[in-house]
Each structure stands twice: as C-alpha cells, then as structure tokens.
Chain A
C-alpha cells in the first residue's frame, strides 16, 4: 500500500521544488490571484457548469423556460414519477399529528427543531438515515462569523456576495452576515467545543475568498462537533421532539386551501407509507452530491439526493441557482478507496500549495472554490500537467508537508487528526508525502426559493439549510454553510412557531398537486419509468442487478 513506485518517483519532483517554494512563502510571495475578469474567463472555459453537453432546460413546472440549462442528472429527477399513486393513499387517518414536521435530521433540521420546541411547538423530525447521518457531520473546516475586532458583518457581506458573483439574494446574505455571532454564542451556550485560547478567544483562521480571518472551528471535525452537540440537545428534549429514522418523506401534503399540511413518509425497512399531518412543514433535506453530476465523485453523505427540492417543486415551489454546482477543488484522487472525499481548505490556509506533475505552482492557493477548481481542471485536462493514478484517474499534488516545515514538525498530525488517520490507514504519511487531489462535487449552491425567513410561496412551508437556494448565489465560500444551516434553522424554527401560534386550521389533506404534476408530465410528452425522490443512490454491482430476475413479487420475497 501507499504510493506506487511510479508515483514515488514523481513525488521527487515535488520535493525538488519545495525548498524554493517554502522560501517564497516565507517572503510573502504567492502565485498571483486572478483578476475578476480573468477569473470569469477561466470559469467559462473550464468550469463544468459551463459545459454545454449533458444539460437541458426544464420542460415542466415553475422553472419551465427560465432561460437556464441544468445538468441532466438534475432534470431527470424532475422528469420522473412520484413513488406513489395518490389514489391508493388514505389521507383520512394520519399516523402522526404534530405542530411542526421537519423533513431531514441533519444540522438545519435539528437546529430548527430546537427553536420550534423552545417556542412551544411539538415537533417531529422525519429523516432518511439515522439522526445526524448528514452532510453536517462531515463538515471539517469551520464556520464563519465576523466577530474579530478587525472584521465586521460589512466585510462578511462583501465576501459572500462577491464569492457568489453578485448573484446572491441580498436579504439572505444580510441574514447570515448579521446572525452569525448570535449563532456562535448559541452554540457556545449549548456546550459546543471551539478551538480557543485559554482566555476564551476564538482561534480564527483564514479561508478561500475571505478578506479577514473569520473561521471558527473545532479541529478538522467542526461539523461533527456541531451535529453531536445539537443532536444530544434534541434528545434531551425528547418529550417534545420525536425523531423518526429511516423514514424519508416522499411527498409534501397540502390541505384543500393549499397550505402545507404534512408529508407522506416511506419506511424503508417495512416498505410501508406513513401519513404525518402537521400545521407547518420545514424541509431541511440537504444537498445532492450523490447524483454524481457529470460523473464527478462527491464529498457528500449517502443520502444527499436532492429530495427536498423535488418534493417542493411538485407542490409548486420554484427553485433557483440549481444551474450552478459547487466542486470542491481538493477531493481525494488517490488512494482509490477514498476517491472523492474532502480535503479541507484549511490545508491550503495552513500553507499547502497545489502543484503540478513537475512540482510547479499554477494557481493562487486560495481562489474562490469555483476558480480554484477550474485552475486544477485546466492544469490536468488542457495543459497535460496532471499526475495519473494506477487506475487512470488524474490529479495534482497538494503539498501538505509544507505545513510541517512552515509551522513546525507535528502540525499536520495535530491540526488534521482525522485526515491524518484516514491516509495513514493506506500507508501514506501526509506530513511527509503530498496528497493527490482533483475537484469533487461538494455543494448544491442553489435550491428551493424562499425569503429571509425561509418562507416559501406556500403558506406553512419553510426551507432551511443546503436545500435553500439564494444565500450563496452561484458559489458558496467555505464556512458559510455551517453558518447558514444554523441561521435558517433558527429562523424557520421561530417563524414556523409564530405561524402556528397565530392559529392554523388544517382542512382536508390532499395529494392533488401530485396528480396535477403527473398530468403535466404526460402533457409535455415525458414518458418515463424513472421515479423520484431518489432517496438512495444505487451502488449495487450491476452484474448482480442483472441477475435479480424476479419477474413479479408477491408476498414476502422480492
């Protein structure tokens, strides 16, 4: 295990240029940043979003003819049938009734549950896997908040909106820039552990595209620390917060007036459908890495399949910015067992440089993510300066040993314990040998359209977290997602409680919107046996799938 002899030979070229690169870093000389205009050009030429093949327009629903094209993998989910036949579902006898139903037990959903509960609500969280099996628990780098004396929400706002190419929705940007310190203080009060100095000062770090040190963290598992803390708190409030695991939602329920009124859940183990009636619904289903857009590997968890956007769309809520997908510049390209997994941006903020097969720098290490990814793709695909792996993938080096040289022996192991172990298991010591990386699908960017309180156009239907579109416009910066899931979790938790308290009477439940959507599919001439939401990706060996020959299934065994 470890690197092959061929790769070890190539690593020598990286080692050969290292002393000179270290010297330049010490003198404050880095590879130059691209100007806005140059960056735009790079994006248009190399970023996967700008490729024309493999994309198409929406032919049905609220985003029909909106002038954008979307990846086929996304459109396929919307040009698909419901998992259920509305005529067969009995909505007259709900299995559960509650005030607020939260769909998705990740970070946004759990924060929403806590704020709804403390505002007097009974809450159900329905989630696909276990409570906390989510993108949130995987987040490594940190969470942004402008609380240092040389920083302010003004600069935070500028960074967010510039990073998003000035397309972000201003009110949503304002919400996260201004709520950020409130969230950090709240997490502190719940007992989240932050990296602090002994006198309680946050150890703030830099990040791609941000002009001040603003990243708050807990080692390289900030997301896990947030998730563990808020999940433990939700469990402490179990009298009011019920969690239903392995029971994803497959459709939103409306009432006769068109208000949100619950959801239809699917028990993946017993294969039965369950009706939940509620006065408000918050969708917090996260992202979509498992769609493998354009064949990219992903950093996302197993359940990241865009279900929330699909369900909301069938109920009539448009989406925005889904045409832009975020590729994280540094996904693992070797060893094959770890392909796609994230290497946090903090490696680059700590001093590791991306270098090509000849050990040369070719990009400013902390460009916004889309630009950094484009530079890496260009280096590999256009300039032929990538490093091949034994199975024919390609990548560039991320020179992690620089960190120990710049910051002292042992820094890599101390500051990146999780990553250190992950590579050590495959015989690679990342404090001594560089890592091979390539962009990987990381973040959804776009999502369901809503206002700064997470309210959609449907009364009583809220969205929060990665499923919500517009906060980050076309491109998110590191550390703003852990922030936004908490900001909008909090805001939707509070706002849904207000909405319910003003007196909501749910009338007869209906799935008519699903019928109407099926009709629209048919009228648009879309005939397909695809079914969505997808719920889980299919990684079963196709040869085995081909031998699953049961023609019809009756009774117990499929």
Chain B
C-alpha cells in the first residue's frame, strides 16, 4: 500500500510534497504578506508565493552562499539570519534577501606573498580596524566564530584562520554588518590559500608520481590495457586486488603495474 503511494510520490522530483492538513502561516517577503505552508524552507516558500528566482538561488543545498537572508520576527527586536534554502519559515517572519553585498577583493600573486602577518597587512589592511563587536559572528549562518578568526588574522595565525573559516560559504552577511568595513570572508579565503600553499607540506608522493608520469612510465601499461581483447580486460577488472579498509602496511601481490 505505502509502496503504491510512494511510486507516485517519487515522480514529483524536488517539488516539496505538502502533507495534508499542513497549517498555512503568514510570511512577509520584503514587507508584503503571503500565506505559505509552515513546513517549507524560505526558498521554497517564496516559490510557493509565486516568485521565480534569478538571484538568491544557486545550489539549493546550503553551500554556495547565494541565498543569504535576514529577518525579524514580529514582537521581537532581534535580527536573525539564515540561508533561505536551509531555513524553515516561521509565522510572521519579516525577511529580505541579500543576494549581493559589495566587498573588497584584493588582487595579489600567491607566489609573491610571505607566509606571515604582512601578507594580510598588504592585501586586507582593513582587517586591523576590527573593533571586536562580534556582529559578524552573530550573523553568520554557518555558525562560524568570525570575530575570532579576525582576531587570529590580526595575530598573524594564518593556520587558525584557515581552520576556523573552513566551512565559510562566502555569503557576505558578515561583511554587511561590519562597522569597521572589513571584508572578513575574502581575507579568510586569502588565508586558506596561504595555508594550503605554504603552511601545509607538499605531498612528496604526488610529486614523485608526476615525475614518473612525465617520464612515460605508465604509457606502456595503459597501451597494454587499450590493446588486449575485451574479454581479457574484463578478466583483469574482475580480478583486481582490493586494498582493505584497514590497510596499514598492505602490499598487493601484483606489483608490476605499480
């Protein structure tokens, strides 16, 4: 019984299926009231209300940062924020979307920057104007400790900035709230790149393999795979040895293709 219902439901793609008896609640999109089912995300509620997005919609899955939204709830002075594709509507939510907020992007050559605080001083000097007001942390929809990574940047702790900003979706909400006019997320991007370029050690194994490939080591092996009959190719595929899940010290029996 459930299976037949589901077969039908499966054909509805992404269209949210609204359960019977779902309550309709008032939602104020830029001050204008619409009634929407209470289970929807802000993004889907706006589509329900009749909007077709051009801006403010990218991944629809909480990672691109296109759908930054700020809102207040009736009778509450507080300012809230969220990603529209990840936040469920509440009754009497007053919202506006910020699909774009101007931010300073420094132009630099990663090869020419030092791995210390001066890299930040020369590219994003405004970072040092931070007054530690914490408005950025409060508004961040990814719950990052934005003010703390700004403090780490000021200390020149590039690795800490990289770690603390790792899941930044670059939505720009922090920048929109900053009284010191800093550009937190672009500065954090710089730090992540500096950390990847200079802080993390390069993989020796990757470098070694690149050399081997450039020297043509694997050309004959691949040519072999391209010239054997299909049946033989299938056989080799089926007979591959599998590296076990816990593989410390594991060595395959066949080593001539390594």
Residues in chain B near residue A178, CB distance under 8 A:
213, 218, 222
Interface size class of A (residues with CB under 8 A): 35 or more
Q: Which of A531-555 contact B (CB under 8 A)?
A: 536, 538-541, 544-545
Question: A224 near B: Cβ within 8 Å?
Answer: yes
Whether the Cβ atoms of B195 and A422 lie closer than 8 Å is: no
Whether the Cβ atoms of B88 and A337 lie closer than 8 Å is: yes
State the interface size on chain B (CB cutoff 8 A).
Answer: 98
Contacts known (A157-B225, A392-B17); A539 close to B3, Cβ less than 8 A:
no
Task: Select one of B7, B17, B60 contacting A302, CB under 8 A.
Answer: B60
Interface string of B28-68 (1 = CB under 8 A from A): 00000000000111001001111111110111111110100
The complex places the Cα of A205 from the Cα of B201 at a distance, in Å, of: 19
Whether the Cβ atoms of A238 and B107 lie closer than 8 Å is: yes
Pick out which of these stretches binds chain A: B90-98, B173-181, B231-239: B231-239
Task: Select one of B11, B19, B222 contacting A391, CB under 8 A.
Answer: B19
Pick out which of these stretches binds chain A: B72-80, B129-137, B147-155, B247-255: B247-255
Question: A196 near B: Cβ within 8 Å?
Answer: yes
Most buried by B among A235, A337, A386, A545: A337
Contacts known (A201-B203, A301-B64); A386 close to B3, Cβ less than 8 A:
yes
User: How many residue pairs at the A-B interface have CB separations less than 8 Å?
Assistant: 292
Contacts known (A158-B236, A296-B10); A152 close to B258, Cβ less than 8 A:
yes
Question: A150 near B: Cβ within 8 Å?
Answer: yes
Pick out which of these stretches binds chain B: A206-214, A251-259, A479-487: A206-214
Whether the Cβ atoms of B14 and A339 lie closer than 8 Å is: yes
Task: Select one of A200, A221, A294, A336 contacting B203, CB under 8 A.
Answer: A200
B245, chain A: closest CB distance, angstroms:
7
Q: Which of A370-421 contact B (CB under 8 A)?
A: 380-381, 384, 386, 388, 390-394, 417-418, 421
Pick out which of these stretches binds chain B: A64-72, A181-189, A278-286, A442-450: A181-189
Whether the Cβ atoms of B206 and A185 lie closer than 8 Å is: yes
Question: B27 near A: Cβ within 8 Å?
Answer: no
Question: A123 near B: Cβ within 8 Å?
Answer: no
Contacts known (A229-B196, A392-B2, A394-B2); A170 close to B226, Cβ less than 8 A:
yes
Question: A145 near B: Cβ within 8 Å?
Answer: yes
Pick out which of these stretches binds chain B: A125-133, A310-318, A458-466, A511-519: A125-133
Question: A322 near B: Cβ within 8 Å?
Answer: no
Interface string of B202-216 (1 = CB under 8 A from A): 111111111001000
Whether the Cβ atoms of A381 and B7 lie closer than 8 Å is: yes
Task: Select one of B49, B63, B189, B241 contacting A418, CB under 8 A.
Answer: B63
Whether the Cβ atoms of A302 and B58 lie closer than 8 Å is: yes
Whether the Cβ atoms of A381 and B49 lie closer than 8 Å is: no
Question: A361 near B: Cβ within 8 Å?
Answer: no
Interface string of A124-161 (1 = CB under 8 A from B): 00000110111001100000011111111111011101
Nearest to B244 among chain A residues (CB) is A28
A414, chain B: closest CB distance, angstroms:
12
Question: B221 near A: Cβ within 8 Å?
Answer: yes
The complex places the Cα of A517 from the Cα of B108 at a distance, in Å, of: 47
Whether the Cβ atoms of A174 and B222 lie closer than 8 Å is: yes
The complex places the Cα of A35 from the Cα of B132 at a distance, in Å, of: 61
Q: Which of B1-21 contact A (CB under 8 A)?
A: 2-3, 5-19
B4, chain A: closest CB distance, angstroms:
9
Whether the Cβ atoms of A380 and B54 lie closer than 8 Å is: no
Question: A36 near B: Cβ within 8 Å?
Answer: yes
Nearest to A33 among chain B residues (CB) is B242
The complex places the Cα of A396 from the Cα of B52 at a distance, in Å, of: 33
Nearest to A184 among chain B residues (CB) is B206
Task: Select one of A152, A184, A232, A236 contacting B218, CB under 8 A.
Answer: A152
The complex places the Cα of A297 from the Cα of B162 at a distance, in Å, of: 34
Question: B167 near A: Cβ within 8 Å?
Answer: yes
Question: A111 near B: Cβ within 8 Å?
Answer: no
Whether the Cβ atoms of A190 and B110 lie closer than 8 Å is: yes
Whether the Cβ atoms of A149 and B108 lie closer than 8 Å is: no
Whether the Cβ atoms of B243 and A162 lie closer than 8 Å is: no
Interface string of A261-276 (1 = CB under 8 A from B): 0000000110000000
Nearest to A387 among chain B residues (CB) is B2
Whether the Cβ atoms of B200 and A36 lie closer than 8 Å is: no
Most buried by B among A162, A184, A295, A349: A295
Task: Select one of A166, A221, A229 contacting B233, CB under 8 A.
Answer: A166
Whether the Cβ atoms of A202 and B2 lie closer than 8 Å is: no
Residues in chain A near residue B81, CB distance under 8 A:
none
The complex places the Cα of A154 from the Cα of B220 at a distance, in Å, of: 10
B157, chain A: closest CB distance, angstroms:
15
Contacts known (A28-B244, A418-B63); A185 close to B207, Cβ less than 8 A:
yes
Task: Select one of B5, B196, B207, B250 contacting A194, CB under 8 A.
Answer: B196
B46, chain A: closest CB distance, angstroms:
10
Contacts known (A196-B200, A386-B3); A418 close to B210, Cβ less than 8 A:
no
Whether the Cβ atoms of A166 and B230 lie closer than 8 Å is: yes
The complex places the Cα of A219 from the Cα of B198 at a distance, in Å, of: 19
Whether the Cβ atoms of B3 and A380 lie closer than 8 Å is: yes
Question: A42 near B: Cβ within 8 Å?
Answer: no
Whether the Cβ atoms of B234 and A181 lie closer than 8 Å is: no
Question: B117 near A: Cβ within 8 Å?
Answer: no
Residues in chain A near residue B196, CB distance under 8 A:
188, 190-194, 229
The complex places the Cα of A476 from the Cα of B11 at a distance, in Å, of: 24
25 A-B residue pairings within 8 Å (CB atoms): A35-B238, A129-B57, A132-B64, A133-B58, A147-B206, A150-B252, A150-B258, A153-B213, A155-B240, A161-B233, A190-B196, A193-B162, A193-B192, A202-B203, A211-B242, A292-B13, A299-B61, A340-B13, A351-B245, A381-B7, A391-B18, A418-B62, A425-B86, A536-B54, A541-B50
Q: Besides A151-B243, A303-B58, 7 other CB < 8 A contacts?
A: A149-B258, A154-B222, A182-B210, A268-B54, A269-B54, A295-B12, A418-B63
The 7 lowest CB-CB distance pairs between A and B, nearest first, are A200-B201, A295-B11, A191-B193, A133-B58, A544-B50, A292-B13, A394-B6
